[in-house]
Structure 1
Amino acid sequence: MPMNPAVQAVIKAITRLQPDVANSWNSQRKVEDAAGKLTIADPRCRIDKITATADDGYEIPLRVFTPLDIDFSLKRGLHVNEDHRGTILYLHGGGWANGDVEFYSDACMRTALKLERRVIAVDYRRSPEHRFPTALEDCYAVARQLFAGTLIRDADPGRIVLMGDSAGGNLTAAVSLLARERGDFRPRTQILLYPLVYNDHSETTLFDSVRDNGEDYILTRQAIVDYIELYLRTPADFHDSRFAPLIATSLADLPRTLVITAEYDPLRDEGEAFAARLDAEGNEVACFRMNDGVHGYFLYPSVLSLVRDTYRLIAHFLDGDPLPKPGDRPWLTLLGTD
């Protein structure tokens, strides 16, 4: 559907003002660091700092967001108890070079409270200082320890959900593929928000959304190319399914999956193609496109309907409630929701 012309003009202007990624990734980190320090803690969510050890000995910083049940009475006083129904391992976006747990703190607190689940955010090592597959192996190491019960002892493996947005969605899908191949653990559920899962974002790519949405909607085609160049170590990595899960020989026997794409995102079509392949190869999958959405909208204030509706959709998926049917607004159902 056409975007409101006034909104489109504003988004286009913002997009044109953005510096190129290749020369500004470090400056963007500084802006995000400043923004992260402005996050206001919610008393209903406890935040703890822990670490997990990577295979090379590096201590991976983690942030744990635990929703709390706060009860006060004159007779009993104040009582605070943990109140969660599972654990979400959250892998943040930012093109593998930007974003961190500080910048994502507000989104992680909100996710913990709205979904009533403990959230563990991974501060994986970023590019270009640490190139592929370092970020993936960091995330895999954390997931392995979480499922083994050595990271947080009360985490029920059957209630652990892998979740990520954008580059974090890429890492989430890749962790699930690695778990299937290595056999260390088997996640049951994953949630991918507008993920990057393919390797070709040139002007001749298979996917129309790269061409249609690649200039004026916040995330540009050139920015995607630049982020990938900062991330990959060798030309051979470009053809590695750990980087581009959509090119994997098989996508069978993977977790129950929710894929959410955004209408005006250049990554829209590849995310939907990934969901379609998961469905075709026998996995349980639901895929929704958020009308009027642009890449990164999940980090926007929760008063926006797109964000509220996304949380509602995720909650239905996690809780096993009926999902929207074709034609329901604001979601366009694509497949796998019968």
Structure 2
Amino acid sequence: MNKWMRAALKALTYSEPDLKKNYKLYRAVNNTIVTPVKRIYEVSDYKISLDEADIPVRIFEPKEKRSEEVFLFFHGGGWVTGNIDSYTKPCASLANNTGRRVLSVDYRLAPEYPFPCGLNDCYQAALTIYQNSGEFQLHPEQIVLMGDSAGGNLAACVSLMARDRGDFQVKRQILLYPAAGNDHSDDSQFASVREFGKDYLLTSKRIRDYIDLYISNKEDLENPYFAPLLAEDLSRQPETLIVTAEYDPLRDEGEAYGKKLALQGNPVMLHRMKDALHGFFTLPQRFVHVQKTYRLVDDFLRGGACYAE
């Protein structure tokens, strides 16, 4: 990355308002819908009715269906921002570029609904879809859990929870630059937090602010359903693709999670996206990192996973 790009990123990073004081502003900006000039997707909306709430699910149909596999997608946003509307373009592009349907799940956001509320919403939505797969015209083995950032965290935790509860079996999961650990301090054990935690848009302070807004109490920081990297037993997890970003403070914990999964006998494909920043998957589909992600996803789903750095 050249010095001019670094300078621009630094200026952008330090011009942002305080997250904890202004999370509603962040949410309003991030959740703004920008309607494409040309409609590139076909969608249908469903609601999964639970005792606590109705969970919206948006189904994106690809222009050309090339596989019966379906992505069950959880959006990012630090558990505080984002929704299925703000992720319409990424999910529509994912469907069209991979030829697979995308089921995008909305979940309730913190701090109004703190941990484990959002996770429970995602789990209950997944459980409903797995147990009523015929209504969605799919087979449970065709479902691929997927998410980016906080959504990658939720996908990983849903997989762990499914194994622990025995309600359904996840065959494959795709985690894009996931939050996996609980150490984002200035002296973190992860070099990426120390090296890229200040001048690369997503700062270590903002990560800590997101976490403070998400958790119910400090004890949650030690819960594997919050930080899956802490799980001692990672056996019987799905085939996994993890894609990290080179200049992302979350890079090393995502890669550590992939390595720990592999060490405990799970097939893992691990790829670090060169010159990429956190959140790159939400960029327009013409960007090289987005296109490369589609190719990685295709390769992973066609050939399965084998451990790779």
Q: Which bracket does the TM-score occupy, shorter chain normalised? A: over 0.9
Instruction: Tell me what 2:61 maps to.
Output: 66
Q: How far, CA to CA, are the matches of 1:17 and 1:245 in structure 2? A: 32
Instruction: Tell me what 1:50 maps to.
Output: 46
Equivalent residue letter for 1:62: V
Q: How far, CA to CA, are the matches of 1:27 and 1:211 in structure 2? A: 28
Q: Are 2:21 and 1:38 equivalent residues in the alignment?
A: no
Kept after mapping to 1: 8 A contact 2:63/2:99: no
Picking from 17, 20, 25, the partner of 2:18 is 20
Picking from 137, 142, 145, the partner of 1:162 is 145
Kept after mapping to 2: 8 A contact 1:37/1:102: no
Kept after mapping to 2: 8 A contact 1:52/1:151: no
Deviation at 1:39, TM superposition (A): 3.9
Instruction: Tell me what 2:8 maps to.
Output: 10
Picking from 27, 30, 42, the partner of 1:29 is 27
Residues 1:90 and 1:41: Cα distance change in structure 2 (over 3 Å): farther
Kept after mapping to 2: 8 A contact 1:147/1:155: no
Tell me how many residue pairs correspond in the alignment.
309
Residues 1:150 and 1:279: Cα distance change in structure 2 (over 3 Å): closer
Q: Deviations over 1:116-166 (max 9, x none)?
A: 111011110000000000000000011111111258341111110000000
Equivalent residue letter for 1:66: E
Q: Are 2:98 and 1:125 equivalent residues in the alignment?
A: no
Kept after mapping to 2: 8 A contact 1:261/1:289: yes
Q: Are 2:183 and 1:188 equivalent residues in the alignment?
A: no
Kept after mapping to 1: 8 A contact 2:153/2:180: yes
Instruction: Tell me what 2:240 maps to.
Output: 257
Q: Are 2:268 and 1:291 equivalent residues in the alignment?
A: no
Kept after mapping to 1: 8 A contact 2:193/2:249: yes
Q: How far, CA to CA, are the matches of 1:39 and 1:25 in structure 2? A: 26
Kept after mapping to 2: 8 A contact 1:39/1:105: no
Q: Deviations over 1:42-100 (max 9, x none)?
A: 35x3111101123x34111111111134xxxxxxxxxxxx6652210000000000011
Instruction: Tell me what 1:238 maps to.
Output: 221
DSSP-derived class of the 2:62 partner? strand
Kept after mapping to 1: 8 A contact 2:66/2:98: no
Instruction: Tell me what 2:257 maps to.
Output: 274
Q: How far, CA to CA, are the matches of 2:153 and 2:67 in structure 1? A: 26
Instruction: Tell me what 1:75 maps to.
Output: none
Q: How far, CA to CA, are the matches of 1:9 and 1:32 in structure 2? A: 24
Residues 1:231 and 1:205: Cα distance change in structure 2 (over 3 Å): same
Q: How far, CA to CA, are the matches of 2:84 and 2:134 in structure 1? A: 18
Equivalent residue letter for 1:313: L
Q: How far, CA to CA, are the matches of 1:274 and 1:63 in structure 2? A: 29
Cα RMSD after superposing both structures:
1.7
Identity in percent: 43
State TM-score, norm by structure 1.
0.88
Equivalent residue letter for 1:249: E
Q: How far, CA to CA, are the matches of 1:301 and 1:204 in structure 2? A: 34
Kept after mapping to 2: 8 A contact 1:195/1:267: yes
State TM-score, norm by structure 2.
0.96
Kept after mapping to 2: 8 A contact 1:176/1:187: yes
Equivalent residue letter for 1:42: R
DSSP-derived class of the 1:203 partner? coil
DSSP-derived class of the 2:31 partner? helix
Q: How far, CA to CA, are the matches of 2:216 and 2:252 in structure 1? A: 26
Q: How far, CA to CA, are the matches of 2:77 and 2:187 in structure 1? A: 24
* Residue ranges of structure 1 left out of the alignment (5+ in a row): 70-81, 324-334
Kept after mapping to 2: 8 A contact 1:194/1:295: yes
DSSP-derived class of the 1:293 partner? strand
* Residue ranges of structure 2 left out of the alignment (5+ in a row): none
Kept after mapping to 2: 8 A contact 1:172/1:192: yes
Equivalent residue letter for 2:158: V
